Chains A and B, each alone.
Chain A
Amino acid sequence: MEKHQPENDKNGYLSDTFWRTPQRAVPGRPCQRVQENEVMSGSSYQQFQASVNDAWDLGDDEIISGIAETRISKAISQTAALNVINSHRNSTKNVDISDVKGDTDKVKSQKEVISVRKNESKKTGAGSGMGGAGQMRHYPGRPRPVRLSALTSREESNESKIERFQQLLENIVLDLNELKQLSWSGIPIKVRAVTWRLLAGYLPANAERRSETLERKRADYKHLVRQYYDAERDDDTYRQIHIDIPRMSPLVALFQQKTVQVMFERILYIWAIRHPASGYVQGINDLVTPFFMVFLQEAAPTQELDSFPLDVLSETQRDIIEADSFWCLSKFLDSIQDNYIFAQLGIQYKVNQLKELIKRIDKPLHEHLQTHGVDYLQFSFRWMNNLLTREIPLACTIRLWDTYLAESDGFATFQLYVCAAFLLHWRERLLLERDFQGLMILLQNVPTQNWTDSNISMLVAEAYKLKFAFADAPNHLQSGKGDR
């Protein structure tokens, strides 16, 4: 197929199926508009819808008339779509929850449209729609309000997103940027493991090199185990890891298995020995868990993982989970290693930036904290050190990492804004607290136990907005010019 496709057609498969099955007029043209209750069926339409639905949001009339009158090349349409996605993302991060709630009834009447929409909402990372119901009538592809709860049942509503991932992943040479854009708003479980490997830079973009790379890396890891773990170990490092592993998730049976604990031990010990500038720092252990869970999920797709007996898996399967977790963790930590060096300078620096940022954007909250003697280091240190893993449920961490891994220049900077958004999320409650104790207790135990993916989508959308406004504007963030 690639032979006769123009080489700039990165999405060959997708456009191929779509453009060549003109069952109904030409998709994407104004005549494709569907009335409210019309059932949209046919995979070609949905594929198209899925591939361009972001476009509906920006200057619809121009785009539509443009498409209607011109035969544009796939390459151009693709570039345009990317641009649209970008500016869309940049401009529509505002979430109006009341709007979302008010519209639920209309939502119900248009299930077919919504299933495409949900996808769109996730794409924006905002978990809600922007267009009113009125506009909706005219443009079926326009994002619209969706019940927030609906976003949590991902899998069924997510078919088209999965398809988009699969089409992208099938390309011989993967467009990593496109994968990042698609992943930023959340990755469907079905394709998460492979996508994480790619985003982490562990799997090469070139599909032909993937299996060979995996084989080599996994063998390398085995070698590292023999070289470092099976040999004489550094006592201090090993002891600390050995103490920390059993108490990571004391109530989850999965993590109480010796097999699992030893896997974690090896991963952490080898990482620590190979990174002497930081070594093992408490909290890094929590950062293995998301990778471990995602790769375990891949190996045992339909299982209840909390109590999954790992010995059910073959040794080869376990080795794969362990090696892949190790390599992905290594890549992941590369951009934040200064968090864990002596005096944890990276974190101290970011805590200061957080303080400056909040001072700028929410003076009342900042002053409230200051007045009661709450120091940013006292609460945000753990947020930064453990990347919020201690503050939100594991499933939410995994969703958050979809975005972290998809951040193109590493997530170190972005994480600062996520922490800021996280703090601002609790502002009303914080302002109600009247003393140091109350503030600290709340900040250390923020009630996120019922959080779902949609909360994370909101959080990262908010963070994106902050980053967009402040990251490259040193005057907005005085002490923080150098966003690493």
Chain B
Amino acid sequence: MGTREDEYDYLFKVVLIGDSGVGKSSLLSRFTRNEFNLESKSTIGVEFATRSIEVDGKTIKAQIWDTAGQERYRAITSAYYRGAVGALLVYDIAKHLSYENVERWLRELRDHADQNILIMLVGNKSDLRHLRSISTEDAKAFAEKNGLSFIETSALDSTNVEPAFQNILTEIYRIVSQKQMREPPSGDVIRPDAEPADARPSQADTVRRQCCQ
């Protein structure tokens, strides 16, 4: 269809994971549509959305997969980790259990995702100050210990939602572009998600092969 939406330099696949009800879908709709519903329906299986941002004059298209939080869906959803270059691991700052389960989610990623996936720990619902049960410091320390980046967000009042996605996408971009400088791309251009041939872009395309899928 050749709209601007189709034009991008990089395509990064990012997954949203974490316990049920922590606000994964709300973060996604806030980031991709700037919408928020106080109660959004539970996600069944996986749902998909996309948005493009600019970094260093390059257009980066984020393909974001929102997964169902319930354990039973794990077998289905883990199939979607493949090819993801980033993961937002979300917990609810007011629900201690969702924070305790972060370790389990990390294990999930280790078992099913690419080794080099970038992970950002996201403490969502930061607007619920009076209900907070996990301190920012604890979460930060945990993130550092495990080599994750960390941010607290509120999909409800928009706090930090934009930076959360911006940061992880930028970080992925830096790694990918450095890698590209070290190892100049060679061989055919393989378009992993099979874009139509007219959808552009040119050389930068080869990069995708390394980062996505």
- Chain A residues within CB distance 8 Å of chain B: 240, 243-244, 246-248, 250, 279, 281-283, 285, 340, 342-344, 348, 371-373, 377-378, 381-382, 385-386, 390, 433-438, 440-441, 444
Contact = CB atoms under 8 A, between A and B. Distances in A.
Contacts of B107: none
Interface string B24-58: 00000000000001111111111111100000000
Interface stretch (B65-73, B144-152, B175-183): B65-73
Interface string B71-97: 011011001000000000000000000
Given A247-B39, A434-B199, A436-B195, A390 B76 contact: no
Contacts of A348: 76
B35 to A, nearest CB: 13
A390 B68 CA distance: 15
A378 B48 contact: yes
Given A435-B196, A436-B194, A438-B1, A247 B44 contact: no
B193 A282 contact: no
Contacts of B68: 282
Given A250-B38, A373-B194, A386 B44 contact: yes
A441 B6 CA distance: 14
Nearest to B192: A373
B18 interface: no
Contact of B48 (A244, A247, A371, A441): A441
Contacts of B50: 437, 441
A49 B40 CA distance: 49
B194 A243 contact: no
A434 B1 contact: yes
B75 A342 contact: yes
Contacts of A279: 72
22 contacts: A240-B70, A243-B20, A246-B39, A250-B37, A250-B41, A281-B72, A281-B73, A282-B68, A344-B75, A377-B45, A378-B45, A381-B46, A386-B44, A434-B196, A434-B199, A436-B193, A437-B5, A437-B48, A437-B50, A441-B48, A441-B49, A441-B50
Q: Which of B1, B41, B43, B75 has the most CB of A within 10 A?
A: B41
The binding surface of chain B is classed by DSSP as loop
B23 to A, nearest CB: 11
B42 to A, nearest CB: 5
Nearest 8 CB-CB pairings of A with B? A250-B39, A247-B39, A381-B45, A343-B75, A243-B21, A382-B44, A373-B194, A440-B48
Interface residues of B, number: 33
Given A240-B70, A344-B72, A377-B79, A444 B41 contact: no
A248 B41 CA distance: 5
B59 interface: no
Contacts of A381: 44-46, 76
Given A240-B70, A279-B72, A281-B70, A373 B193 contact: yes
B158 interface: no
B136 interface: no
Contacts of B21: 243
A217 to B, nearest CB: 29
B166 interface: no
B159 interface: no
B44 A283 contact: yes
Contacts of B79: 377
B63 interface: yes
Given A282-B70, A340-B72, A444-B47, A247 B194 contact: no
Given A250-B40, A342-B75, A343-B75, A435 B47 contact: no
A293 B46 CA distance: 28
A244 B40 CA distance: 10
A244 B45 contact: no
Nearest to B41: A247
Contact of A371 (B37, B39, B194): B194
A247 B44 CA distance: 13
Interface in B1-18: 1, 5-6
Contacts of B39: 246-247, 250
A378 to B, nearest CB: 7
Nearest to A390: B44
Contacts of B42: 243-244, 247, 282-283, 285
